[in-house]
Amino acid sequence: MKNYMIGIMFVIACGTGGCEKDTFHDTGLANGVYDGTAWEYMQAGHGNWDSLVIMIRKAGLADLFDGKDPDCPQMTVFGLTNLSIVQFLLRTTDGEGELVYRSVADMPDALCREILLSYVIAGRHVRVDFPYEVQGTLEGGTVFETLNGLDLRVYRVKGSWQGMPDIGADGIGFHFLESGHTGHVASGDIMTDNAVVHSLSTTFQMADPVVDGSEDRRGGVYD
């Protein structure tokens, strides 16, 4: 049954655009600008953001992404794509190797909220705002506090070109200091009315950066 579910979910992910080339996400935008809020942009982005939209609704965060939260009118979002979320579902198993969640709809609302807020920081931050990482270290960049209170180091890196390192276009990486979880941005600087969206790599292994498990950092258990 598990293999059957994995096959179905993989086909669904590919069919909705999840199996795209990892170096760029086609946002369908001219010059990376969307005339609307981050919430409107994600609802319009079928193939990339369908699962994220469901998570946002379950978490009760639609107003935040729609620019209606007075405590965070402008923000920067590290956007989790469909395939990252599918991979999370496939990796989250019980002691017998069975899937805990067979769809995003099965995920607890509190878990959706915890994960989403881990990937949002207040204010608008584009690629050139982030200092470079010190090569060969886990230092450099800027440490931000995410909306759920985690320390997130965001930094710029030099990309490669035709196999030659450090001469390609700049990219964005990030590092959760508490858990050590890291990732990189595939398509950045997507401008909406209330947010800068950085679309994460389709190979990014989404996790709950707090613990990558069922317990939150306050010792509670997700309902």
Q: Is the dihedral of CA 27, 29, 34, 40 positive or negative?
A: negative
Structure-block tokens of residue 201: 């790599």
pLDDT at residue 24 tops 60: no
Full 3-state SS string of 153-177? EEEEEECCECCECCCCCEEEEEEEC
| Domain assignments of the chain as residue spans, ordered by start | 38-200
**Closest by CA position to 125, among listed 33, 30, 195, 61:** 195
pTM of the model: 0.81
Average pLDDT over every residue of 1-30: 44
For residue 6, what pLDDT is reported?
46
Q: For residue 18, how far is the Cα from the chain centroid?
A: 14
Query: For 185-217, how does the pLDDT look when each residue is reduced to its tens digit (9 = 90+)?
Result: 999 999 999 999 999 988 898 876 654 433 333
DSSP 168-207: S-EEEEEEETTT--EEEEEEEEEE-SSEEEEEEPTT----
Q: For residue 218, how far is the Cα from the chain centroid?
A: 22
Strand order in the sheet with 120-122: 120-122, 75-79, 195-200, 182-191, 170-176, 151-158, 142-145
CATH of the domain spanning 38-200, picked from 2.40.440.10, 2.40.50.140, 2.30.180.10, 3.60.15.10 = 2.30.180.10
Query: For 40-92, how does the pLDDT look when each residue is reduced to its tens digit (9 = 90+)?
Result: 999 999 889 999 999 999 999 999 999 999 999 999 999 999 999 999 999 99
Euclidean distance between CA atoms 74 and 70, whole angstroms: 9
Q: How confident is the model at residue 160 (pLDDT cuts 50, 70, 90)?
A: low
